[in-house]
Structure 1
Amino acid sequence: MMKTRPKTLSTLGMAMRAGKLITGDETVLKAVRQGKAKLVILAADASDNTKKKFRDKCATYNVKCMEAFDRITLGEAIGKSERVILGLTDAGFAKSIVQSLTESSEVEYID
């Protein structure tokens, strides 16, 4: 499991409050099909079937799909109960989250 990234989690919270984040299998799938989803985040502890379903669907519709955190952490970040799948519908939030998940800045880990 990856180290906790507070910047990523707070960005998810901001996206939720801004109404630019959706959750739930069917809702996220619909957004991917309609081209509204800019980024899909899967919980690391999602089932293999769920991971495959969303990876395949995102690949088909050319939507970036990332695996990060666990269902409890994702839920807490957006002020909800456990969440396995999140979809971002705003390109700005999506870009910010992709950058914060992929950058390997040593500065973040200094105590």
Structure 2
Amino acid sequence: MNKKVVSLCQLAFRAGKVSYGSRLIPSIQTRQAKLVCLSPFCGKNRTKKLHDKCAFYHIPCLTLADWDAISKKSIQSFAILDEGFAQAILEEMKG
């Protein structure tokens, strides 16, 4: 994965512009989430639920390969709440 994507995700964590855990699904439903990122080790049920929620609310959902470099916490998915971070990550993933 691109190192710039990792650094953008780390910056979003430091800036407090992420939602994870029990706040993840409500942030998708209220459309606060601009991008949802999943670990490749996320369970099948959780992955399907998040993909379905993101598809319904028209929020991009990515599976990121280099998960250990992004977060040292034991989380499997998170949402980026800032439009700028989300657009920068999506542009880096396309390019």
Query: Could you tell me the TM-score, scaled by structure 2's length?
Result: 0.89
- The CA distance in 2 between the partners of 1:69 and 1:15, in whole Å, is 18
- The CA distance in 1 between the partners of 2:17 and 2:91, in whole Å, is 18
Partner residue of 1:30?
Answer: 26
Change in Cα spacing, 1:75 to 1:7, as seen in structure 2 (3 Å) is same
Write the mapping of 1:1-111 to structure 2, written as runs, cut at 5 A.
4-24=1-21, 26-69=22-65, 71-76=67-72, 81-103=73-95
- Number of aligned residue pairs: 95
Moved more, 85-94 or 61-70: 61-70
Matched AA of 1:65: C
CA contact (8 A) 1:72 1:82 kept: no
Could you tell me which runs of 5 or more consecutive residues in structure 1 were left unpaired when the two chains were aligned.
104-111
- The CA distance in 2 between the partners of 1:40 and 1:71, in whole Å, is 13
Higher-RCO chain (CA-CA 8 Å, sequence separation at least 6): 2
CA contact (8 A) 1:43 1:74 kept: no
Matched AA of 1:44: P
Superposed structure 1 runs of 4+ greater than 4 Å apart = none
Residue identity over aligned pairs, in percent, reads 29
CA contact (8 A) 1:39 1:63 kept: yes
RMSD: 1.4
